[in-house]
Structure 1
Amino acid sequence: MAISFNGLGSGLAVSDIVDALVNVERTPFTSRLNNKEATLTTDISAAGALKSALEKLQTSMEALGEVDNYQKRSISGSDDFVTLSSDKDAQPGGYSVKVNNLATEHKLMSSAFAEDVAVGEGTLTIASGENSFDIDVSDTATLSEIRDAINDSKDNDSVTATIITDDNGQHLVLSAKNSGVENAIKITATDADGNNTDAAGLSALAYDTDLGVTNISEVIAATDASITIDGNLTVTSSDNEFANVIDGVTITAKKAHGTNDDDSTLKITENNNNIKAGLNSFIESYNELLELSNNLGKSGEDGAGVMAGDSMLRGVMSKLRQQLTSEVTLSDGSSLSLSKLGVEADRYGKLSLDTERLNEQVEADVDLVQEFFIGESEEGGFAQSFDELMSFYTDSDGIVQNRIDSKQTQLDGLDDERIAFARKMESLESRLYAQYNSMDLLVAQMNSTSSYIQAQLENMPGVVKKSD
């Protein structure tokens, strides 16, 4: 801030004069830029609000354009015995389910061995399901070393081995990782003594019921899960899941029914709630957009909105109204529109849903309602055409974003104008100070000359001085 001082020669308040002259230049420029900045900021904010509302409306229609959301099935009946799920292939109906038994994993246990005694030399081939692997056993290997070799085998993905120790010694326990008869464990021994089936040496660990070799004990038999549907259809599974035994239904057995337990009862019903939910979401989003549009574009005695008379706002709302009333021709030759599905507009354009009319259309032919929204085969329906319209405005290179980017560029340019003008004002201030300082020096010189002449005149002979 400049220090105010009076001219030494002229006595004028030079600093105040310069400040006043600079402000005469600065004030209208600053006022103009501030007004322009406020206008641009308001325009950007309004366009941003419009884009957000359009994006929300666009998103609300997306769910109605997803084929997987249509004609879903609801299934009931999950209890302590079964867990149920279904997809759209399931047909409405009811069934009874009885769990006869659950699937079990095969488990085998060897006879007792001393901790530090070698079992026998040779090769063990262990198989479960489609997995089979070999274990080479040295003539010094103990039971714990055989256990480690089984668990560490890179080819083993079907069994686990552990040791249980009791008063008689160590027992090798093999457990199948997967349940069911097809995953029963088989152990074949290639014994160094040449006898692969006796209970001596490595063959003491052999187990193959196909060959009648059971040198180790079966602790838990491998069994398939079994259920009975409607009292007379029995189905088995290697695990406890029964997929598509009933079309589109997955039954997971959790517990076997006892003699006195009632069978589980499952019921499949058609679920088309996505249509009503989707339309209600769309209507809500549209009404919010309509209210915003009315506020942005209003004009009258109460004042004008920030986008009053804006062609972009008028254009998007006009296109939307046309889209809402458009009809889609269907494969059976008929046509559908939102209004036929119960979407109504009052005299102010606000939408509402006639649920009764929508339900009538869904119950009459839900396939046609689905076709209206998602189209048939390659041709999209209403949802796709609506999305394309919205994208024209909401995309990153769409109409609204282009407006925002243009205004933002202008707003950024104001900073450059301010910097350039500040430099101009500094130059003007320096120039004015130089001019006024020069003038002040000249006045001081003139005053000095005047005083000198006056003194000389007063000292001339014959000049009478005034008496004090």
Structure 2
Amino acid sequence: MSISFNGLGSGLAVSDIVDALVNAEQAPAEARLNTTESNLTTDISAAGALKSALEQVQTAMQALGDSDNYQKRSTSGSDSFISISADEDAQPGSYNVKVDALAQAHKLSSPAFAADEAIGAGLITIGSGENSFSTVLSATNTLEDLRDQINNGPFTGNDSNDSVVATIVTSDDGQHLVLTSKETGEDNAITITVQDDDGNNTDTGGLSRLAYDVSDADPLNHTTNLTEVNAAQNAQITIDGTLTVSSNTNEFSNVIDGVDITVKKLHDADDDVSDISVTENNNNIQAGLNSFITSYNELLELSNNLGASGESGAGVMAGDSLLRGVMSKLRSEITESVDLGDGNSLSLSQLGVETDRYGVLSLNTETLNEQIDSDVDLVQQFFVGTDEDEGGFAQSFDDLMSFYTDSDGIIQNRIDSKTNQLEDIDEQRESLTSKMESLSDRLYAQYNAMDLLVASLNSTSSYVQAQLENMPGVVSNNS
């Protein structure tokens, strides 16, 4: 490694000269890169803003293309006695509902047993609804053992308990096994049959003390060795004073076309019946159009700013074919009339979407409501189409927007291209830095060499001068 003392021989400011020469070479190149980078960044930002605004318009129109949002039903009448909901199958109308009974789970309680008392050996089978299961008791099993086997098994065969919960309630006279059906309603009443090791399956001795079966139509064949705490009971309502409906649960599904009723409380004799009303709700159309108009006008304002040209200055996309193209196609699309067959056609303008001389959209709700009241099915067909294979205006609009907004669409491709160019700028900067370092090293080497040469010449000059002064006959200037 050599060390150079710049300027020692020549007296020149070598470092300043080299820096000036390198900067003269570097500055124009850096300026070009900075300008290119700025232009690329501005273009990416503008294209991204345009894409985002287009996506907002696209999303707003997509909501109008969802058939599930049309002809919904609004209901009123939910109170402390009932709650109601309705789907599009419900027809507009009014009804009154009286709650006669609430659904109730079946609950049985056994006779009292001592805590350590053996309850009897044999097989006990418990059923509720469509579920039935059996478990085996030994001669030493207690009431607590039976409770645990009911809740957790083991069961015979492939049985499982999906229907009954067993608990023990301890009163002054001993332990009582309480069985409660998991589901409400008469269909889920509990039956208990036993095969008692003492040979009698219905008496009040041994395991048969837990038998309870009233499923036979003949009361003489009933076994009721357990006490019924709560009867299995269906919910019941009366509609319009004449139509009685029952349900295993407190929910009445589709008892009125498209209307579900949940009962919560009994109507007493002095209570007013619950009045319910179903009306058609097409608010999604106006809400959807307002959302579309808002997003479109925001896009229009952005487009005007990006594409501005005039004395006040030019927008960053002034004269850009992409901006001109998308806005031209969009304006054409929203003025398009859709043929709906049978001589019918509709356009956004017929639905009250109006345009002023600047292209700004607004909604005439009176025109829209008149069209909805006249034929809401036609309005739905305009936006949604007739089936999945033949989409309406919303699908056509979405297809147009997707050409620009998709992840592989024209705008993203442009953004990706510009981003790649930005990455090239970074590489060019690295290359320029390396080139300038090489230039600096070369200039320093040249100037250092020159400096050494000048130093050598100066040294030789001084030596010659000294020799000349010391030669005989040479007169010194010194006195």
1:311 maps to: 321
2:235 maps to: 225
> 1:206 aligned to 211, 216, 226, which one?
211
Q: Report deviation, 1:327.
A: 1.1
Q: Report deviation, 1:333.
A: 2.3
- Asked if residue 384 in structure 1 is aligned to residue 395 in structure 2, the reply is yes
Distance 1:148 1:325 in 2: 74
Q: Secondary structure at the match of 1:96?
A: strand
> 2:355 aligned to 345, 353, 361, which one?
345
1:46 maps to: 46
Q: Which amino acid aligns with 1:443?
A: V
Q: Which runs of 5+ in 2 are unaligned?
A: none
- Asked if residue 196 in structure 1 is aligned to residue 207 in structure 2, the reply is no
Distance 1:68 1:238 in 2: 31
- Asked if residue 238 in structure 1 is aligned to residue 243 in structure 2, the reply is no
Q: Secondary structure at the match of 2:170?
A: strand
**1:278-301 CA distances to partner (integer Å, 9 max, x unpaired)?**
000000000000000000001011
Q: Which amino acid aligns with 2:450?
A: M
Q: Secondary structure at the match of 1:252?
A: strand
Distance 2:439 2:305 in 1: 46
Distance 1:448 1:225 in 2: 122
- Structure-1-length-normalised TM-score: 0.98
Q: Following superposition of structure 1 onto structure 2, how do residues 4-403 of structure 1 map, counting pairs within 5 Å?
A: 6-153=6-153, 155-209=160-214, 210=216, 211-377=221-387, 378-403=389-414
> 1:408 aligned to 396, 419, 423, which one?
419
Instruction: Please provide the CA RMSD for this pair.
Output: 1.2
> 1:452 aligned to 452, 463, 479, which one?
463
Q: Report deviation, 1:7.
A: 0.9
Distance 1:135 1:451 in 2: 125
Q: Which amino acid aligns with 1:296?
A: L
Q: Secondary structure at the match of 2:266?
A: coil
Distance 1:274 1:61 in 2: 11
Distance 2:202 2:380 in 1: 67
Q: Which amino acid aligns with 1:223?
A: Q
Q: Which amino acid aligns with 1:82?
A: I
1:427 maps to: 438
Distance 1:195 1:121 in 2: 12
Q: Report deviation, 1:108.
A: 0.5
Q: Which amino acid aligns with 2:223?
A: V
Q: Report deviation, 1:135.
A: 1.2
Distance 2:21 2:4 in 1: 14
Distance 2:278 2:353 in 1: 30
| Displaced runs of 4 or more, over 2 A | 3-6
8 Å Cα contact 1:143/1:172 also seen in 2: yes
Distance 2:5 2:264 in 1: 97
Identity %: 69
Distance 1:134 1:331 in 2: 66
Q: Secondary structure at the match of 1:365?
A: helix
Distance 2:257 2:106 in 1: 30
8 Å Cα contact 1:115/1:143 also seen in 2: yes
8 Å Cα contact 1:6/1:14 also seen in 2: yes
Q: Report deviation, 1:5.
A: 6.6
Q: Which amino acid aligns with 1:173?
A: V
**1:321-355 CA distances to partner (integer Å, 9 max, x unpaired)?**
11001111113321000001000110000000010
Q: Report deviation, 1:448.
A: 1.1
Of the structure 1 ranges 200-209 and 152-161, higher mean CA displacement relative to structure 2 is found in: 152-161
Q: Which amino acid aligns with 1:32?
A: R
**1:19-61 CA distances to partner (integer Å, 9 max, x unpaired)?**
0100010110111111111111111100010010011111111
Q: Report deviation, 1:461.
A: 2.1
Q: Report deviation, 1:8.
A: 1.1
8 Å Cα contact 1:50/1:292 also seen in 2: yes
**1:137-185 CA distances to partner (integer Å, 9 max, x unpaired)?**
1111111110111011370010001111111111111000100000000
8 Å Cα contact 2:122/2:194 also seen in 1: yes
8 Å Cα contact 1:4/1:13 also seen in 2: no
8 Å Cα contact 1:199/1:215 also seen in 2: yes
Q: Which amino acid aligns with 1:172?
A: L
- Structure-2-length-normalised TM-score: 0.96
Q: Report deviation, 1:467.
A: 3.8
Q: Which amino acid aligns with 2:339?
A: T
Q: Report deviation, 1:225.
A: 0.3
**1:94-140 CA distances to partner (integer Å, 9 max, x unpaired)?**
00000001010000011111111101010110000000000111111
